[in-house]
Chains A and B, each alone.
Chain A
Amino acid sequence: MTNDAPAADRLRRNLVSYAYVSVFCVGVALLIGLLNAGGTWMQNLTVSFSVGFCVNTAFILLSDPLEKLIGPRLAPIPTTAIGVVAGLMLGAWLVAGRPLYFFSADDDGLGSIVLGVFFGVLGFIYFSTRSNLLSTRAQLAEAQAGIEREERLRTETELRLLQAQIEPHFLFNTLSNVISLIRTEPKAAENTLVQLTQYLRASLKRSRESRNTLSDEFDLVRAYLQIQQARMGDRLSFELDADSNLMLTELPPLLIQPLVENAVVHGIEPSQAGGKVTVTATRSNGWMQVRVSDDGVGLQETNGGNRLALSNIRDRLTSLYGSRARLTLTDNTPCGIIASIDIPVAEE
């Protein structure tokens, strides 16, 4: 549908232009009749329509190639000339049965010349205005694209602010654990602190740099999962796996981490037996798919889960990729959730 839209739009514009030209031609025929330049009303109308339609058709067919050839400023001149000559020939053929009537010695009246010049000038004015209009439209579209870019930047800034806020519950729980571990398992306490430091550093780095790779994102997710593992003990296990050629692929920050957080907090934590979180990134045909799956408690139809995080991710995908990226949630078997993000990536 999206592919047809510009073509349909163009067709509509062209039809509208013929309608305008028709009104214009009737006016011109009346004017020439009043000036009494010679010929009957019907003949004037016929010639007028021939020239008008030919000029319009010439512009529709020839504008683009001629603009490429000699530039948008000069292009209307040959286009108008071709249209006028073709139109006069068509008109003469229809009225007198001889295409070259207006260009031969038999043409007795000034009328035809006046008519031709009249049309030429008016056509030139109309179409140069039209081409100005088109370039104004192009400028407008560019300005809109600029606004869109700005909006995208703003979204990104907001996002950085969001990232700077580390979820307090997570921080307090982690610190409580570290305190508890110091006496019994000082080594584990130390490890957890190291991981927390890595996690905070990675979060801060992401809030300052706009470039973010899958490898950065995996580092962050790994640190997060290790910390959660220290808290939850053997109730949580995890696996991270990405095609090695994907590690330097750029992707927007904070797409994967919230999904992993969801999987842990809403999938594994509420489960008495615990479970496993698996994060994979694969590439195929210009698409990267990141999957975060867990075998936790899954979603009840009326259980909130973290819909806010999901709708944030969805909004960001839309603002960054339009409709080309998507977030899909499916049930995992035998239990749990799979969240997948599909993003277009440049082919190598």
Chain B
Amino acid sequence: MTTALIADDEPALLEQLEHLLSICWPELKVVARAANGSEAQALAREKQPDVAFLDIRMPGATGLEVARTLPEQTRIVFVTAYDQYAVAAFESAAVDYLLKPVTEDRLSETVKRLASSPAIDRTELTALLHSLTESDRPEQSPRLQWLRAGYGDTTRLISVDEAICFEADHKYTNVVTQDGEHVIRTPLSVLEEQLDNDRFWRVHRSYIVNVAAVAEARRDLRGRYVLTLRGVDRTIRTSNAYSHLFRHM
């Protein structure tokens, strides 16, 4: 008998899928129902199902991440909402997928295909999943997006987009935003490595500026630049070493 695992974090959708499967594929036995990704991984290890129907957006682990850990013999069908980027990729790699809401007709087709075609090459699928999960996280060391500034017993979260400039202050750093200055515990040099260097420029030993917040760069007689910043009453003088950054502005 063919066994199946179904996984979806929305209970109504999980139940509906099971119902439709009972109509389209009466011989199939659903042996595991998972409400999130990590549960799906654990149940797959335990039950070794022949087929897995995986929702893509799930807490714990995404359907794509679950697929990468499934046993070799398990056939995979992804279930996805309308805009999920992966659809085109699945199509090209001949991976089975279902669009939500799942309909009886469409599910019957998938069942037919599962029964007639041999399993697709697992290495191909692995490569695809690898590229998809990687494109989910484009960078190896993701860029800093949020800064945490302590205020007594609360911690304020500041988006890096809000930062107009960063100013070194001994071991700490002042984050200058439109609504004031916030002290964070990360030194400027460490911050420089973590920030997106296309958007944040180290223009001085003591300053990193948000390029988007630079209103004007004026050159002085010694070839350094005086930066006028948007949103705060402040100018910053670049060091000679960093002046080349503005030459083409």
What is the CA–CA distance of A131 and B248 in the complex, to the nearest angstrom? 45
B35 to chain A, nearest CB (A): 8
Chain A 220-241 per-residue mask, 1 if CB under 8 angstroms from chain B, else 0: 0000000000111101000000
User: Is the Cβ of B82 less than 8 Å from the Cβ of A172?
Assistant: yes
A residues 267-286 near B (Cβ < 8 Å) are: 269-272
Query: Which B residues are CB-close (under 8 A) to A181?
Result: 12
Interface of A, secondary structure class, is helix
Q: Are A271 and B158 in contact (CB under 8 A)?
A: no
Contacts of A183 in B (CB 8 A): 16, 19
Q: Kindly supply a per-residue 1/0 record for chain B positions 65-100, scoring 1 wherever the CB is within 8 Å of any chain A CB and 0 otherwise.
A: 000000000000000011100000000000000001
Q: What CA separation (Å) do A176 and B155 show in the bound complex?
A: 39
Contact residues in B for A1 (Cβ distance below 8 Å): 233
Give Cα A127 to B27, complex, Å: 99
Contacting residues, chain A, for B38 (C-beta < 8 A): 272
Interface Cβ pair total, 8 Å cutoff: 104
Chain A, residues 304-348, CB within 8 Å of chain B (1/0): the string is 110100110010001000010010111100000100000000000
Is there contact, CB below 8 Å, between A233 and B11?
A: yes
Q: Which residues of B contact A304 (CB under 8 A)?
A: 145
Q: Are A269 and B157 in contact (CB under 8 A)?
A: no
Q: Does A108 contact B (CB under 8 A)?
A: no
Q: For chain B, which range describes its interface: under 10, 10 to 19, 20 to 34, or 35 or more residues?
A: 35 or more
Q: Which residue of A lies closest to B137 (CB)?
A: A302
Report yes or no: B155 in contact with A331, Cβ–Cβ below 8 A.
yes
For residue B223, CB closer than 8 A to chain A, the reply is: no
Classify chain A's interface size. Answer: 35 or more
Over the window 1-45 of chain B, the binary record of Cβ atoms lying under 8 Å from chain A Cβ atoms (1 yes, 0 no) is 000000001111101100100000000000000001011000000
Q: Which residues of A contact B244 (CB under 8 A)?
A: none
Q: Which residue of A lies closest to B39 (CB)?
A: A272
Given A231-B12, A272-B59, A301-B145, CB of A173 within 8 Å of CB of B159: no
A194 sits at the interface (CB 8 A): no
Provided the pairs A231-B10, A329-B156 are in contact, do residues A179 and B16 lie with their beta carbons within 8 angstroms?
Answer: yes
Are B145's CB and A305's CB within 8 A? yes
29 contacting pairs across A/B (C-beta < 8 A):
A169-B81, A172-B81, A172-B83, A173-B100, A176-B102, A177-B13, A180-B15, A181-B12, A183-B16, A184-B16, A185-B12, A188-B12, A231-B10, A232-B10, A235-B9, A301-B144, A301-B145, A303-B142, A303-B146, A305-B145, A310-B159, A318-B178, A323-B178, A323-B179, A329-B157, A329-B158, A329-B159, A330-B155, A331-B155
Shortest beta-carbon contacts, A-B, top 6? A180-B16, A302-B142, A176-B101, A329-B157, A180-B12, A331-B155
Q: A residues touching B (Cβ–Cβ < 8 Å)?
A: 1, 168-169, 172-173, 175-177, 179-181, 183-185, 188, 230-233, 235, 269-272, 299-305, 307, 310-311, 314, 318, 323, 326, 328-331, 337
